Amino acid sequence: MVPDTTRHEHARQAQQAMKTYTHVPYRHTEYPEREMHERANALYDELRRRRSVRFFSDRPVARELIELAVMTAGTAPSGAHRQPWRFVAVSDPDIKRRIRIAAEKEEHESYHGRMSEEWLQALAPLGTDWRKPFLEIAPWLVVCFAESYGVRNDGARIKNYYVQESCGIACGLFIAAIHHMGLVTLTHTPSPMRFLGEILGRPKRERPYILFPVGYPAAGATVPDLSRKSLKDVVQWDLGETV
């Protein structure tokens, strides 16, 4: 039989490992229905103007704006509230240069052999290639790392849950925040991205997830003239009606 003192010790440790939250009232903001429609329309109207931009100005952007975008990203829901993300914001020209060189080396290999013919054809309409000058021109590179597991003070591993989903949601909010403040970004995923952890000194348990160049668009920046799927192509109501 396990002695009582040992059992108590286990229970104490379990309690300490698992933070128990007290529950507090949710502070809900209710709007009149007309205002709900206005707000919903306004947000849609703003977000539908967002575009992935590949041509950046070198015009500086205040660090506080990047802080606010990261704080906005950090409001994302996450599996077991583990918040398994780490954003590394880079403005140092030497580090940006190292990232550009390493990314272009990988991308060159991708575009010249690693990517299938089918993939290259899918990208052709976008006009992308291995060259990534924006990695040096944009005033900020923000890299989201996904933390595969956490580490407790005593060195024990803490399991994270739904890491991909959590980071995806956080990055979505980051993108919305950048757009909302009047800046532009691009979800850039040079592949493979291992070099980012090495250059930025992140531990192995953190995997590079998305690299965001952030800044103002270059004067005369262009974007592909593409359209988005219509509502009927992305929604089904109940058992089949699509409009």
Please report, as ranges, the residues that interact with ligand IYR according to CB under 6 A: 107, 123, 128, 188-191
Question: At its nearest, how many Å lie between ligand IYR and the CB of residue 140?
Answer: 18
Q: Which of residues 80 and 123 has its CB atom nearest to ligand IYR in the complex?
A: 123
DSSP state, 56?
B
In this chain, which residue has its C-beta nearest to ligand IYR?
Answer: 128
Exposed (0-12), middle (13-18) or buried (19+): which is 12, by Cβ within 10 Å? Answer: exposed
Nearer to ligand IYR, 15 or 191 (CB): 191
Gap between the Cα atoms of 208 and 148, Å rounded: 11
Positive or negative torsion for Cα 193, 224, 73, 167: negative
Written as six digits, the tokens of 106 are 């990988």
Residue 92 CB, shortest distance to ligand IYR, in Å, is: 22
User: Would you call 211 exposed, middle or buried from its count of C-beta atoms within 10 A (0-12, 13-18, 19+)?
Assistant: buried
**CB 109 to ligand IYR: min, Å:** 11
Closest CB 65 distance from ligand IYR, rounded Å? 24
* CA–CA separation, 189 and 186 (whole Å): 9
| Cβ nearer to ligand IYR, comparing 138 with 160 | 138
Q: Smallest distance, Å, CB 107 to ligand IYR? A: 6
Is the Cβ of residue 40 or residue 223 nearer to ligand IYR in the bound state? 223
Nearest to 187 by CA among 208, 161, 166, 160: 208
* Residue 191 vs 230, nearer CB to ligand IYR: 191
Question: Closest CB to ligand IYR among 55 and 83?
Answer: 55
Determine the Cα–Cα distance for residues 27 and 5; give it in Å rounded to an integer.
42
Query: Is 182:155 a contact under the CB 8 Å cutoff?
Result: no
Shortest Cβ distance from residue 9 to ligand IYR (Å)?
Answer: 51
